[in-house]
Amino acid sequence: MFLCCWLGLVALIPTTLSTNPGVKVRLTEKGIEYGRQLGMAVIQQKLRSIKIPDFSGTETVSPIGKVQYSLSNMHIVNVGLPKSSVDLVPGTGVTLSIGDAFISLNGNWRVKYLRIIKDSGSFDLNVNGLSIATTISIKSDETGRPAVSTASCSATVGSAKVKFHGGASWLYNLFTTFIDKALRNALQKQICPLVADAVSDLNPQLKTLNVLAKVDKYAEIEYSMVSSPTVLKSSIDLSLKGEFYNIGKHQEPPFSPAAFYLPPQNNNMLYIGMSAFTVNSAAFVYNNAGVLSLSVTDDMIPKSSPIRLNTKTFGAFIPQIAKQFPGLMMKLLMKMEKIPTLTFEPNNATVQATTTVTAFAIQTNSTLSPLFVLNLEASVSARMFVSEMKLAAAVTLNKMDLTLAKSYVGDFQVGPLENVFQGVLKWVVIPTVNAQLAKGYPLPSIGKMKLMNTQLDVLKDYMLIGTDVQFS
Ligand SMILES: *[C@@H]1O[C@H](CO)[C@@H](O)[C@H](O)[C@H]1NC(C)=O
Ligand SMILES: *[C@@H]1O[C@H](CO)[C@@H](O)[C@H](O)[C@H]1NC(C)=O
């Protein structure tokens, strides 16, 4: 009883402890088909490298007696892999089946009999109806990158035909009976190891998954897999951590990823689902790095704007300022009060930011005299897009809400200042943020991967990037 409960508990632990991934990647049948095409080219190349060692022997052929023979200089002339398919085996891996394959090779033969008679020539061997079946398993390696290995392989050769050039016809019979068989065996023995080679040649490629992608001097994104890849009926799904960290300092934010499920789409080869968690972990990281503050000075405001950052402009709304600090320039210090949060609703990505704005008058001796502190709540819409292998974004202001937190110049109404701050946001803050967001954030990628036919949709709690890929 105890043992049974214990085992039951142990079985539960992995699911209880496992954290939800921040990013999910799905390789669809279309993507797997592209992988098959790339893979077959590699296997074909491998099979072309088959080397059959020279061999020689002695056979007794009546009525001549002992015939010494040797085969040499054998090399592959052609390998054809006209039929192949990849099937997913849910929970296990991938089966690659190759059928109707053929290999042709060419070599030289030499015989010696009755002590003095020598003869030689060349031959062609055509092996047809070759079939290869191999099961490939996909796991996560110790660095959280995918790794493949050959779980099983079998190769069978259908028929072989040897054609000799030169020599006496009785010799042909000698060769076709047993030499043909020896050659077939020699070939067959080499196929599976070469296929296994081709499979493990994938690993150096898979090792290039950017499990820790550097963003800038403050942040990096962790894209390691949090569990082994899941092989489903028509896709292979990867669960990646998808979390921003301060470089070298991996502190967890006070929130965690919510579960999300990729929709059953299959028009593209690859789907990348990125949760709001991933984006919000970026906000946490940049806030920790202390870079989510901005000081705004008059030179940052376009020359064409009638609103200037000086006590004259502000004095029009707050007369005390014009009176106490006449003819001075001003400075605004904007600071995040809370980590900004992004919410994904279908076709709607909204960021909510709570900041404080401290306004100063700049004295002629450069001393800053505080005038007032405002709470500024802003809601911005984000539009995300993929550029190269990066995710970039641009935001626009939805709405803004101002309240007075503290005044150093006596009471005043904030309402009339709305237009001034709308202007500051539109002309200074949002362009600054957008310049940053346009630099982009690396997406998970492998090798020299290029994205094509890419689109991005915002869904509930995550965004979905659908794309085809091309490896050069
Ligand atoms: C987008 O979502 C936010 C809440 O997340 C909501 O306040 C806003 O009205 C929505 N916008 C549209 C256009 O639906
Ligand atoms: C700078 O000027 C202001 C206003 O004239 C004055 O109150 C302040 O003491 C000065 N500060 C320094 C460091 O000179």
Q: Which residues contact 153 (CB under 8 A, 6 or more apart)?
A: 132, 133, 134, 135, 192, 195, 196
CATH code of the region 212-471:
3.15.20.10
Q: Is the pLDDT of residue 11 over 80?
A: no
Alpha-carbon distance 72 to 177, whole Å?
18
Any idea which ligand is nearest the CA of 362? Answer: 2
Q: Which atom of ligand 2 is found nearest the CA of 363?
A: 2
Domain with CATH 3.15.10.10 in the chain: 28-206
Cα(374) to ligand 2 centroid in Å equals: 25
CB atoms within 10 A of CB 135: 19
Residue 3 DSSP code: H
Tell me if 326 CB under 6 Å of ligand 2: no
Tell me if 343 CB under 6 Å of ligand 1: yes
**Residues 332 and 357: beta-carbon distance below 8 Å:** yes
Domain with CATH 3.15.20.10 in the chain: 212-471
Alpha-carbon distance 392 to 1, whole Å?
56
Q: Is the pLDDT of residue 458 over 60?
A: yes
Alpha-carbon distance 414 to 374, whole Å?
8
**Mutation probe of ligand 2 site: the residue of 311, 325, 365, 368 with most atoms within 8 A of C-beta:** 365
Any idea which ligand is nearest the CA of 348? Answer: 1
pLDDT of residue 267: 95
Tell me if 365 CB under 6 Å of ligand 2: yes
272-316 confidence digits (pLDDT tens):
999 999 999 999 999 999 999 999 999 999 999 888 999 999 999
Atom 4, ligand 2: residue with shortest CA distance: 363
321-341 confidence digits (pLDDT tens):
999 999 999 999 999 999 999
Length of the chain: 472
- Please state, in angstroms and as integers, the Cα–Cα distance from residue 229 to each residue in 35, 120, 144, 389, following that order: 16, 56, 10, 22
238-276 confidence digits (pLDDT tens):
999 999 999 988 899 999 999 999 999 899 999 999 999
Cα(350) to ligand 1 centroid in Å equals: 7
Closest Cα partner for 83 from 185, 28, 138, 158? 158
Tell me if 234 CB under 6 Å of ligand 1: no
pLDDT of residue 61: 78
pLDDT of residue 18: 57
Tell me if 367 CB under 6 Å of ligand 2: yes
CATH code of the region 28-206:
3.15.10.10
Atom 4, ligand 1: residue with shortest CA distance: 350
Tell me if 366 CB under 6 Å of ligand 2: no
Q: Which atom of ligand 1 is found nearest the CA of 348?
A: 1
